[in-house]
Structure 1
């Protein structure tokens, strides 16, 4: 009887601790395990866009939509282009682009892009976007107004906003959206991407509250992509106060950013080559409000309209810093001589 009483006390204690959110079981933390699966195992609330059991065929359709803008649908027919002018890859990389995935350092990203043969694009990578918790953050409301309100906390709505407005295209059919969400899920973060230390792995496997373990995991990557819209320098001829441009770094920006779109067969019909006359055109327009003014075009971009559906997206400071703009200017001025 005494033994049964002891067992009952132990059982009640265990259930009490479990009810309080403590975790006693070992977690599968293999490097290739999807982060969302681990978070859900720890009782994190699944987001509406989570698609843990997507079929390979659906993922492949989503990938084709992202890269090509169309695919063969469930009815066996080729779908119409989402946009006649852009694909998702026009503005978004599909692989890791920030060396430290908790930070947004545009210079570190630029050097990483050069090393890994990536484009230096204005919008965030799709890699790991599935694991974030907000989109179209911060100053994007200045460009898109109330359109960003439903998109801010919904990856589904953010994707639709990008397809219709940012791509100068159309809203996605339900099956297309499902396919793209499945593709996002396939390129989400894994445990190996978090670079957990031995101490952190031990904490995740030891006794402790599940909410603390969720907090630890989410501290290892960015939950949002920040967007701060920069301002033009007060005097365009003088440039940003206190900043001196580096033409060597400017060359990287010109080749990996400007020429990523402005090349033969690229997104833009305006070609930017390496001819002296091209750089001289930039230099002549330095203090003017024109498409060839590097401050206006980087800081503000252009807007799509019926007569010009292809437009130039702006670069938030987290994607191209004022220092980098000065570097780009220094390279242009060097090549214009």
Structure 2
């Protein structure tokens, strides 16, 4: 059977990426970080597309399908990338595929790590979900009922005036390594769901008072916030694994790069006799190759998005996708 090559375009939030995947091999995966998001994507998407083709050593004729992020995400960036994908599909006379961003993360994680049927902890700036596959759907076992864990960390970084370079979450992670005092914070697990807004409000309220009085350091607050948030995530992931009888856990999404989260998850898995799978920032952070990989899985099972159906959906839930490529 001839190898299938899929171009993936990702632009659901503050990064734009293009990736090429051929039968389970990532051929290229460049991405750019923005200034102002939608304007940035319009200015950079063709350059990153050109770079992806050059890096892979391919021409448009070598591409079998064009995949793009249908959602979830921010409206203006999603529309920008969808327009480019539609245009390329028509110019190159190629099939088009609208991909769920969350499913893209899962399929890239499965590809890179080799995880077969993991319980997935999906953690990013815009999403927090615990997911497991069952009967041709990625079922959501638990999720945040308000803000995402990455959003919580980013907003706390602004409270402490922590730099955005290279990212607020990364800088909080480095500061947390130096923290020595655990400040008690609200711990909000509601069944299989979690809530982060109350924790954020509380730590915003007490941070300046505690720092001014010398009760703790900024590093202590970063350490305490990370430990609390991640303990909540580990708890609901373990509960989902117990429910499913799962012996594999997979972390995906931008916050999945955090080494402390990986460590806590690894300890939990070891205690259960299970195995943890995780990737580094090349594949955790939003990228085009993950959209190409999910698109490849969809395309090889006969899925195609008609041009008239190639809209975007800002609230496109993980469990809305029919997973035709898994038994």
- Which TM bucket (shorter chain)? under 0.3
Which structure is higher in RCO with an 8 Å CA cutoff and minimum separation 6? 2
Structure with higher strand content: 2
Higher-Rg member (1/2): 1
